[in-house]
Structure 1
Amino acid sequence: MRIATCNVNGIRAAARKGMGEWIAATSPDVLLLQEVRAPEDIAESLIGSDYQVFTRACDIKGRAGVTVAVRHGIDVGEVRDGVAVHTVDEPPVDTGRWLEVDLPELTVVSAYLHSGDAKNEEKMAAKYAHLELVSKRLEEFASSNVLVAGDFNIVHTPLDITNWKSNHNRTSGVLDSEIAYVDRWLSLGYVDVQRSLTGEEQGPYTWWSQRGKAFDNNVGWRIDYQMASEAVASKARSFKIDRAAAYDARWSDHAPLIVDYED
């Protein structure tokens, strides 16, 4: 099974820039998208007829939004919206950030965690509140076959960002208090699949700032993950970060993370 994840930075714009051609060429069995910023019917039309498409838009128009697209022929069970699945309501800022889909012997989750802002206490409070809910949900999933993939908006170690020293404990996504959540999830038995395949090497990255020549100079961050329970992660055979050949060939400021899993 080939599983791909990408923050599309607006699915309409991504489609205009070549996302559909990329989907056809890559042919993932499961596609997990974040920051879709569109309702389900729009996402379905842009992803194409080869897939069963499930989308949760954000209650705040123009923000967030997550999609799970499953190739026809793969059975789909229950679909659950929201990280706090046992509650009726979520704060609007938390909506469109977590979507679970049950497949045969596997639950996949498209996750778009808050970016936060180290200079804005309100945004950081919203981020930490959401991360607490994510932690509780992952504890509930601990004995299941689950894959959580998407834009976590947190680097884990200095290997995951080019400029660690200038960002560490200064920039959201590189704060020790955020990184502690990733440590917590891994301590539950989850595996950072890409890192398990690359070992202790710098990068490779999945996101580059639009400012300056960050992309051209590969000044990047690794903030997009496929994080899986141990049984699922053990089936990962190879991965690819599908970084565009040139700045003007990109269809998002993130590059897709693709992992092939085999029994």
Structure 2
Amino acid sequence: MKLVSWNVNGLRACVRKGFLDYFQDIDADIFCVQETKLQEGQIELDLDGYYQYWNYALRKGYSGTAIFTKQKPLSVKYGLGDNPAQPEGRIITLEFQDFFLMNVYTPNSQRDLARLDVRLEWEDALLEHVLAHDKLKPVVLCGDLNVAHQEIDIKNYKSNYGNSGFTDEERGKMTRFLEAGFIDTLRYFYPNEEGIYTWWSYMKTVRERNIGWRIDYFIVSERLKDLLIDSHAQPTILGSDHCPIALEINI
């Protein structure tokens, strides 16, 4: 099975920049997007052979997630826990026969860390949500998690200590998540490889010089470890300030 995740930073804009060409070429079994930045009825995607599931933010032009899947899920949940009414459209959970798939767009703590408390509350609720489902079936979680976990995951780590996405608090929550029984699949295959990033500033020549952050992830339950085939980023694919990431797994 091939899964793809991409923060498109505005799906309508990304479609104008070649999203559908990439979508057809990659031919994923499940394709997750974050930061769709639209409301119901603002886009018509003709994705033949795919079921579509959307979680829209109430605020226009903000946040939002979607999943396109060839296989119809057994069930669909929006939001965390038993609360489907969360206003920012940040998570969709699909249940399949052998696993749960979660598509996540984690809140950014903002440049001045004004939303750090909101972010940390989200982390606690997300872990609780994941663990509750993991008791039933293995979990495959993907998306923009808005944190560079280790120094290897960010180009200029020394100058970014304490900044949004690289605070001790955010990195500690990711460590706790993984220690609860989950695997960062890219680091499972490439534990020491430098220069693997998934987000770059729009500032001039930053992407060309690969001055980036790895903040997009595929994370899976540890008991899926032996089913993993590969996990990688695709930095040559343009259309957003993020690049797509892909997971191949024998599930």
The amino acid that maps onto 1:241 is A
8 Å contact kept, 2:183–2:220: yes
Percent of residue pairs bearing the same amino acid type: 26
Structure 1 gaps of 5+ residues are none
Normalised by the length of structure 2, the TM-score is 0.94
1:7 aligns with 2:7: yes
Partner of 1:54: 53
Partner of 1:219: 211
8 Å contact kept, 1:236–1:262: yes
TM-superposition CA deviations, 1:160-192 (whole Å, max 9, x none): 0000000011x1000001101101111110100
TM-superposition CA deviations, 1:44-78 (whole Å, max 9, x none): x336122100000011111100011101xx23111
Q: Cα offset for 1:118?
A: 4.6
Distance 2:46 2:97 in 1: 22
Distance 1:126 1:115 in 2: 9
Structure 2 gaps of 5+ residues are none
Distance 1:138 1:88, change over 3 A: closer
Q: Cα offset for 1:127?
A: 1.3
8 Å contact kept, 2:146–2:165: yes
8 Å contact kept, 2:152–2:194: yes
Alignment of 1:12-161 (within 5 A): 12-42=12-42, 45-46=44-45, 48-71=47-70, 74-83=71-80, 85-87=81-83, 89-90=85-86, 92=87, 95-121=88-114, 123-143=115-135, 144-161=137-154
1:240 aligns with 2:210: no
TM-superposition CA deviations, 1:89-126 (whole Å, max 9, x none): 43x3xx210110112211111100011125143x2222
Partner of 1:165: 158
Normalised by the length of structure 1, the TM-score is 0.90
8 Å contact kept, 1:5–1:32: yes
Distance 1:47 1:157, change over 3 A: farther
